[in-house]
Amino acid sequence: MNALLDVLDLETARLGPLSLRLAVGELVQVTGASGSGKSLLLRALADLDASRGLVRLGDCDRDRIAPGDWRRQVAYVPAETAWWAPRVDGNFPPGWRLHDAKSWLACFALPDDALDWEIERLSSGERQRLGLLRALLNRPRVLLLDEPTANLDRENTQRLEAAVRRYLAEHGAGAIWVSHDRLQQDRLGGRVLEIHDGRLRS
């Protein structure tokens, strides 16, 4: 298998040791009871929380990549996105391209002028889609998606699933997707891992 993300004996204060390998283009789902540590796992992989163990992106160890670069390449998309600027596009990463942003807006069935919207007016589902869009503009190699469709209706859920699939196929990226939804697990397919007692099991 052509490994994109290789995780060996990852440990944090509350998790592990756990190991995981994500292939180029692969989407792995993570499930588990509420409070089992799914978000903590994604945060540890994104280097937002301290962890020990080997984490490698392609053939490069995480220790050799500056934390900011790592987080751009291994992007954590939380269920509740944080925004700092008052307008949507004021929160986009440096160098973002209008063409890319518009093409993702179309995938999410949002109008072009959503880029100018005030953050305050966004519904929770709009926040969730625009939070993913913001992450995609950095062209990450790995997406860490924390219940990315929690606030979406069925139609928008399926749009977002298709958008992530498109992104993985076009960019040879990988994704770890936290989901509680059995029907979604069936639609997305691929491996489903469960967190239990701080460990991953298939």
Q: Interface with ligand ATP by CB under 6 A: which residues?
A: 14, 32, 34-40
Of 76 and 92, which CB lies nearer to ligand ATP in the complex structure?
A: 76
Of 12 and 156, which CB lies nearer to ligand ATP in the complex structure?
A: 12
Of 118 and 124, which CB lies nearer to ligand ATP in the complex structure?
A: 124
Give the Cα separation of 115 and 54 in Å (integer). 39
CB 105 within 8 A of CB 114: yes
Q: How far is the CB of 13 from ligand ATP (least distance, A)?
A: 8
Q: How far is the CB of 166 from ligand ATP (least distance, A)?
A: 26
Give the Cα separation of 79 and 151 in Å (integer). 9
Of 34 and 202, which CB lies nearer to ligand ATP in the complex structure?
A: 34
Give the Cα separation of 37 and 45 in Å (integer). 12
CB 177 within 8 A of CB 122: no
CB 134 within 8 A of CB 126: no
Q: How far is the CB of 170 from ligand ATP (least distance, A)?
A: 29
Of 31 and 157, which CB lies nearer to ligand ATP in the complex structure?
A: 31
The Cβ of residue 172 has, within 10 Å, a number of other Cβ atoms equal to 12
Q: How far is the CB of 196 from ligand ATP (least distance, A)?
A: 11
Of 34 and 123, which CB lies nearer to ligand ATP in the complex structure?
A: 34
Give the Cα separation of 50 and 104 in Å (integer). 32
Please, what's the b/e burial string for 92-124 (b: 16 or more CB within 10 A of its CB; e: otherwise)?
A: beeebeeeebeebbebbebeeebbebebeebee
Q: How far is the CB of 175 from ligand ATP (least distance, A)?
A: 17
Q: How far is the CB of 57 from ligand ATP (least distance, A)?
A: 22
